[in-house]
Amino acid sequence: MSGHDDKLSKFKLTLKRASAPDSSEVHTLEKWRALFYKLQLVGEYPNEKIGFGTLSCRLPDKNTFLITGGQTGHLAYLQPHHYCRVTHFDLKKGHVIAEGLIAPSIESLTHFELYESDPNIQFIFHVHHHKLWEYMQTSGKEVPRGFIKNQESGIFILKGHQDEIIAFSTTAEEAGKLVLDLYRKIITGEPES
């Protein structure tokens, strides 16, 4: 959990109060998040009461994205007010500016770095699972920060971030398929589709 504590110390936020996103904006993210919650890829660590798992999508203004709110992992289903828009970053200072009724996930900076790496990336699904993470670590899917350039789709783990798995793609279906294929292979033993 020390990696999570370290992220908190580097995360500075300015939250501008604004209306919640429309239901239509969060529909696709919520569909996938609800499934990941059922599979225990999104949730809350019971002892620490720290939520895990963050989903985001790029908005039509290429410099902004919609992301799940911080500390919502304990909820099986999110409402539009549990999401917010991230509108600006200062990576050097670790500063995020967001709009909405809830603070964004502390993973906002990681999501921003990925969106910056390729303008075609539209969805990022950041889940947690120890067995999947162990498999990814032993199969050479661990990468350092600053890792991905000019890649529209993929799944990886970040060096030093235990249990965290990040899938990204140009569509929600592809990003979700990357996560589900890994889950089926490792947890249920089904072949990848």
Average pLDDT on 88-113 reads 90
Tokens of 129: 């699972």
Poorest-pLDDT segment among 71-75, 95-99, 122-126, 189-193:
189-193
* Confidence at 144, pLDDT banded by 50, 70, 90: low
Res 8 pLDDT > 50: no
Given this model, what pLDDT does residue 3 score?
Answer: 45
- d(CA 80, CA 99) in angstroms, rounded, equals 13
Given this model, what pLDDT does residue 61 score?
Answer: 81
Res 1 pLDDT > 60: no
How many other CB atoms are found less than 10 A from the CB of residue 58? 19
Average pLDDT on 53-80 reads 93
Given this model, what pLDDT does residue 89 score?
Answer: 86
Q: Which of 75, 64, 123 is nearest to 99 (CA)?
A: 64
- d(CA 153, CA 170) in angstroms, rounded, equals 7
CB 96 within 8 A of CB 88: yes
Residue-range domain boundaries for the chain? 2-188
Poorest-pLDDT segment among 12-26, 28-42, 60-74, 129-143:
129-143
- d(CA 177, CA 180) in angstroms, rounded, equals 5
Q: Helices in the chain by DSSP H: which ranges? A: 2-10, 23-38, 108-117, 130-138, 172-183
Given this model, what pLDDT does residue 9 score?
Answer: 45
Percent of all residues in the chain with a pLDDT value above 90, rounded to a whole number: 61
Hey, what CATH topology would domain 2-188 get?
A: L-fuculose-1-phosphate Aldolase (3.40.225)
Reported pTM:
0.90
